[in-house]
Chain A
Amino acid sequence: MSRIGVAFDKARADGRALLVGCMPAGFPTVEGSIAAMTAMVEAGVDVIEVEIPYSDPVMDGPVIQRASDIALAGGVRTADTMRIIEAVAATGAPVVTMTYWNPVERYGVDVFARDLASAGGTGLITPDLIPDEADEWLAASDAHGLDRTFLVSPSSTDARLAMTVQHCRGFVYATAVMGVTGARARTSDAAPTLVSRARAVTDLPIGVGLGVGTGAQAGTVAGYADGVIVGSALVRCLLDAPTEADGLAALRALSAELAEGVRNPTR
C-alpha cells in the first residue's frame, strides 16, 4: 500500500478524516513555500499537496492562479518543485503533487516520474489529464511506484466514474462543486452524493476538494469523505498578509482550525 494509503488508514482508525493542504510550489518564493508547507505540517496538516505552478490553470480560481503567477514571475522551475517536494517529504508528511499535464509532458513523462519518486513524492493529482489520455502516465507511474489520482465530478456518468476510479491508486479526488478552486461560503450538496456514488465502485479512500475554507466546513466534509482537501483558503493566508511572518502565523492558525475540524466530523 502507498504511503498515502497508510495515512488514510491511520486517520480512519482514529475516526477522523485526513487533512490535505495545498500550496503552489515556489509561492511566494522557493524557500518561502518550503517554510509554508513545513508550518502547515507542524500545525496539523496530514498530507501536503504541492501544486506545480502553470501559466494556464483552468481548474483553479483567482486565488491559486494569483499565487501561481507570483511563483512563475519569481522564476520557479519544475526542477525547483522537485527540490521543494524533497524538503517537505523530509518532514515525514506524505507529499502528493498536483499538476496540469503540459509541464509533465515537457519534462518527459518517465523522467518526471523517476525524479518525483526519487524526491519522495507519492504521486500525482492530474486535473486536466483523464485516464482516456493517460497511457504514458499509467506506464510511468507503474514503473516508478507512484500513485495516480484522477478527478471525478458530479457530472461524471456511472460508467466514467467506474472507469476513472479503476485507474486511480492511492486515493480518488472528488470535486465537490461544478466549478473551479476557491473557498465558498457553503460547501456543496452535490459532494455527499458523489462520494457515495464513488464508494459504490471503489474501496480507495476518497478526498473531497473545492470550496472548503473553515474548520466547520472541514468537519462537514469529514462527515462523509475520507479526506478533506483545502487549497485557496490556505493560500489566501499568505496572499493577504502584510508580512511573511504574519502570513505564516495565519497559515498555522487556519491549519490548526482545519485539523480540529477533520477530527470533529459532522454526521
Chain B
Amino acid sequence: MSADALAPVAGPQPDSAGHFGRFGGRFVPEALVAALDELDGAWRTAMADESFRAEFGALLRDYAGTPSLLYEARRFSAKVGARVLLKREDLNHTGAHKVRNVLGQALLTKRMGKTRVIAETGAGQHGVATATAAALFDLECVVYMGQVDTERQALNVARMRMLGATVVPVTNGSRTLKDAMNEAMRDWVANVDETHYLIGTAAGPHPFPAMVRDFVRGIGDEARQQCLDLTGGLPDAVTACVGGGSNALGIFHAFVGDEAVRLYGFEAGGDGVATGRHAASITGGSTGVLHGTRTFVLQDADGQTLESHSISAGLDYPGVGPEHAWLHDTGRASYLPVTDDEAMAAFELLCRTEGIIPAIESAHALAGTVALAPKLAAELGREPTIVVNLSGRGDKDVHTAGDYFGILDKER
C-alpha cells in the first residue's frame, strides 16, 4: 500500500478553469476570485511537494487510521447474492471518509498562512470533522448550520463546541444545509484574507471539486489494491452513495480507467423521485448553477432552488458535485435513486448480518447494491464481486433510525 495518498495517477481531470465537460467552473462574486486563485495555486504547489504529501500521508495513517479495511461481508453477501466487500471508512477517526478531506484542507490552510476556517454542515458530520482538524491545527473555527438542523442534531452541535468551534445557527431561507452554505459564502467574502472556507464535499467553485476529490481519492486507491490482494482481480462494480458526492468520487477515481469495472452512484430518492420529495439531483434535477458551480440542481421552472428531502441529512442537498454530472453525461458512471425505505431496509440488514451499524448515507449504497446484485449476476452469469463504500458509521443516526423502526422507549 502506498503511503503517498496524493501520488499522481492517471484519472479524469477538469480543464484549467475547473470544467468537467459542460459542468463545473466558477460562478462566484468577483470578490472571491483572488482567494480561489490563491487556493488553486496552493493546492497545485502542495500536490507537487513531496513534503506536503508525506505530511498528509502521515496524518492519514497516524491520526485518521487509514488505510481503512476492505472487509468481506460474508453473511451480508449471502443475503444479497454477490461477493460484497465493504470499504470500512466508518472506522476512520470521526467516523467517516470526511476526515481525509478536512485534514488535507487544514494542512493547506496552514500553508496559505490563514488562521481561521469556516464550514457549512447539514447533520453536523462535516462540522465535527472540521472542528476536529481545527483543534488539531490550532485554527479558529466557525461552523454554519441551518437552525432546523441545529435543533435536529443537538448532539453534534455539542461535539463541535467541545472541540472549540463556534456554531452559528442560520435562520435565513429554508434554514437547512443550502442556507448554511450561503451564509458560509457570505462570511468568506467578508473575511477572505485570514479565512479558508473548508467546503465539505466535491462541489462548489473550482478548485474545490477537484481538490476535495484528490484529498479523498485514497479511498479508491486503497480499495483497488486491497481488492486485487484479496480476490486476485478487480471488482465487477463499485458502489457509493451520492449527496454532494465526495465519498463516491473518492472511491470511483481509481477505477475510472478500469473499463470493466462498473461504477454506481446511489442518490437519495426520499419518498420516491416521482413524489418530488427527494434529493436525487441527477435523476430528478436539471442543469443549473448553484453554489458556484454548474451541475444538476433541483430547481423550479424559474431556476429557484427547491428544497430537497431525504431521511439522510448528509444526502439532503439540492445539488451534486460537477464531476458526477460529467460522469453521468459521459455514461462512465450510472446514477440511480434509492428511497428512504429501501435504504432503511439495507441499514437493518447490515446491522443484523454483520454487526455493523452504517450511516444512513452509506445505507443508500448498500440498498443500491442489494438491487444491483441479481441484475449483475444475471448479466455476468456468475456471482459478481461488488466493492461498496461504507462511507460512515451510524452512531449519529441512532435516533433517526430508532424513530424509523419504532424501537425507542416512550418518554419515561
Contact = CB atoms under 8 A, between A and B. Distances in A.
Q: Do A and B come from one complex?
A: yes
Interface of A: 54-59, 61-62, 65, 69, 72, 77-78, 101-107, 127-130, 132-133, 150-157, 160, 164, 175, 177-180
A56 B34 contact: no
A127 B179 CA distance: 18
A178 B190 contact: yes
Contacts of B33: 130, 153, 155-156, 160
Contacts of A62: 172
B41 interface: no
Interface string B1-40: 0000000000000000100000001111111111100000
Contacts of A59: 29, 189
A137 to B, nearest CB: 12
B299 interface: yes
Nearest to A69: B173
Nearest to B303: A106
Contacts, number: 117
A101 to B, nearest CB: 5
A146 B236 CA distance: 54
A55 B291 CA distance: 11
A130 B303 CA distance: 19
B182 A107 contact: no
Interface in B172-206: 172-173, 178-179, 182, 185-186, 189-193
Nearest to A104: B303
A178 B189 contact: yes
A59 B17 CA distance: 22
A102 B288 CA distance: 6
B190 A179 contact: yes
A71 to B, nearest CB: 11
A130 to B, nearest CB: 6
Interface centre among A103, A104, A133 (most CB of B within 10 A): A133
Query: Which size class do B's interface residues fall under?
Result: 35 or more
B290 A128 contact: no
B333 to A, nearest CB: 24
A150 B29 CA distance: 9
A57 B297 CA distance: 16
A58 B185 contact: yes
A108 to B, nearest CB: 10
Interface in B264-319: 287-292, 297, 299, 301-305
B173 A65 contact: yes
Given A128-B28, A150-B30, A103 B304 contact: yes
A58 B27 CA distance: 11
Interface of B is mostly: mixed
B15 to A, nearest CB: 12
Nearest to A76: B302
B173 A107 contact: no
Nearest to A164: B30
B28 A156 contact: no
22 contacts: A54-B304, A55-B173, A56-B173, A58-B291, A59-B29, A69-B172, A78-B302, A101-B27, A102-B289, A105-B303, A106-B299, A106-B303, A130-B27, A130-B33, A152-B30, A153-B30, A160-B34, A164-B30, A177-B190, A178-B192, A180-B186, A180-B190
Given A102-B297, A132-B26, A180-B189, A56 B291 contact: yes
B279 to A, nearest CB: 16
Contacts of A54: 303-304
Interface in B148-193: 172-173, 178-179, 182, 185-186, 189-193
B27 A128 contact: yes
Contacts of B185: 58
Interface centre among A56, A57, A128, A160 (most CB of B within 10 A): A56
Contacts of A78: 302-303
B303 A103 contact: yes
A77 B302 CA distance: 7
A133 B292 CA distance: 11
B26 A175 contact: no
A56 B182 contact: yes
Given A57-B182, A130-B33, A177-B190, 16 more contacts: A55-B173, A58-B29, A65-B172, A72-B304, A102-B290, A102-B305, A105-B287, A106-B301, A128-B292, A130-B27, A153-B31, A155-B30, A160-B30, A178-B31, A178-B190, A179-B189
B170 to A, nearest CB: 11
Contacts of B25: 132-133
Closest 3 CB pairs of A and B: A106-B303, A153-B31, A179-B190
Contacts of B172: 62, 65, 69
B169 to A, nearest CB: 14
A104 B304 CA distance: 11
A129 B205 CA distance: 12
